[in-house]
Amino acid sequence: MLCRPFSVNFRHPLTGVLAMLAACLVYGQAWAQAGKVPPAPPVAPSATAAANASPKDKMLMQVRQWVAQNQNTEPAKVEIAPIDPRVNVLECPQALLIDLPFASRESVRVRCAQPAWQIYLQVQKSAAAAPAAVSAPAAAPPVNRTTVITRHLIQRGTQLQPGMLEEVSRPTQGLDAQAVSSLQDLLYGEATRDLPAGQVVRSSDIRRAVLVKQGQSALMSVGQDKGFQITVRVEALQDGRMGEQIRLKNTESGRLLTGTVTGPNAVKGF
More confident residue, 103 or 115: 115
CA triple 128-131-132, angle to 5 deg: 135
pLDDT of residue 135: 54
Look at 43-57, 103-117, 177-191 and tell me which has the smallest mean pLDDT.
43-57
pLDDT of residue 32: 45
What residues does 261 pair with on adjacent strands? 267
Q: Express each pLDDT in 25-59 by its tens digit.
A: 544 454 445 444 444 444 444 455 556 788 888 88
Question: Does position 160 have pLDDT exceeding 70, yes or no?
Answer: yes
pLDDT of residue 29: 52
Q: Express each pLDDT in 223-270 by its tens digit.
A: 766 567 788 899 999 999 888 899 999 988 899 999 999 888 999 887
Instruction: Cite the DSSP H helix spans in 90-233.
Output: none
Peptide bond into 115 cis (omega under 30): yes
pLDDT of residue 139: 60
Q: Express each pLDDT in 57-95 by its tens digit.
A: 888 999 989 888 888 888 888 888 888 777 888 889 888
CATH 2.30.30.760 fits 210-269, yes or no: yes
Considering the four listed CATH numbers 2.40.37.10, 2.60.40.2140, 3.40.50.880, 3.90.1210.10, the one that applies to the domain covering 144-208 is 3.90.1210.10
What residues does 234 pair with on adjacent strands? 218, 250
CA triple 159-175-69, angle to 5 deg: 80
pLDDT of residue 51: 65
- CA 61 vs. chain centroid, Å, equals 6
Q: Where are the chain's structural domains? A: 52-125, 144-208, 210-269
Q: How far lies 153's CA from each of 15, 165, 166, 180, 193, in Å?
A: 108, 10, 13, 17, 11
The answer to whether the pTM exceeds 0.85 is no
Q: Are 30 and 4 in contact (CB under 8 A)?
A: no
Provide the residue count of the chain: 270
pLDDT of residue 138: 60
More confident residue, 166 or 26: 166
pLDDT of residue 47: 52
More confident residue, 105 or 201: 201
pLDDT of residue 37: 43
Q: Express each pLDDT in 128-159 by its tens digit.
A: 544 554 555 666 666 888 999 999 999 999 98
